[in-house]
């Protein structure tokens, strides 16, 4: 048991990022699914944009509090972090939103569980999780030395 605890402590940030990255991806996919199936949005790109906005809001809170443990609620700190976080997510969001129609055009708009376009969503999600970790670790929540 102590070995597991030791490994968790050593890799806590990465484990937490993966955990909340999966959560952020789930938020994105759930909103996307609701937009396409329940709301009947036929424009898959619009559904993807709305899903991205909801996922970014979820990601900021979870990354700040539990992944990178930025505890300061000083307005200057929060505004700096939030500005950098949004900037980084806009870059990865442009990547996601721009690549999605390309993958659909390439024929990767197959359905998973009956939801059109999910193959493209899965491919993009993996790439975006990696890109966002790099941005968050190196730019947004970097530890001051």
Residue for token digits 């996601």?
96
Half-sphere exposure of 16 (CA within 13 A, CB side): 18
Tens digit of each residue's pLDDT (9 = 90 or more) over 3-19? 898 888 999 998 999 99
DSSP label at 112? B
Using 50, 70 and 90 to split pLDDT, how confident is the model at 20?
A: very high
- Determine, yes or no, domain membership for 145: no
What local confidence, expressed as pLDDT, does residue 145 receive?
Answer: 66
Q: 112 forms bridges with which residues in the sheet?
A: 115
pLDDT in tens, 76-124: 999 999 999 999 999 998 988 899 899 999 998 888 888 888 898 889 8
- Chain-centre distance for alpha carbon 104: 20
Distance CA 58, CA 28 (A): 9
Any domain includes 84: yes
Beta-carbon count within 10 A of 14 CB: 13
Q: Is residue 79 situated within a structural domain?
A: yes
119: in domain: yes
Q: Which domain holds residue 22?
A: 2-140
Q: How many domains does the chain have?
A: 1
């Amino acid at each position: 048991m102590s070995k597991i605890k030791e490994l968790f402590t050593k890799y806590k940030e990465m484990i937490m990022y993966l955990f909340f990255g999966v959560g952020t991806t789930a938020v994105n996919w759930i909103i996307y699914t609701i937009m396409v199936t329940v709301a009947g949005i036929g424009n898959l790109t619009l559904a993807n944009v709305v899903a991205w906005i909801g996922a970014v809001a979820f990601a900021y809170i979870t990354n700040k509090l539990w992944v990178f443990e930025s505890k300061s609620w000083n307005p200057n700190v929060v505004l700096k972090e939030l500005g950098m976080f949004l900037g980084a997510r806009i870059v990865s969001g442009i990547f996601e939103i721009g690549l999605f129609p390309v993958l659909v055009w390439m024929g990767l708009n197959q359905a998973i569980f009956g939801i059109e376009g999910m193959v493209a969503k899965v491919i993009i999600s993996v790439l975006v999780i990696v890109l966002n970790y790099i941005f968050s670790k190196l730019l947004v929540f970097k530890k001051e030395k």
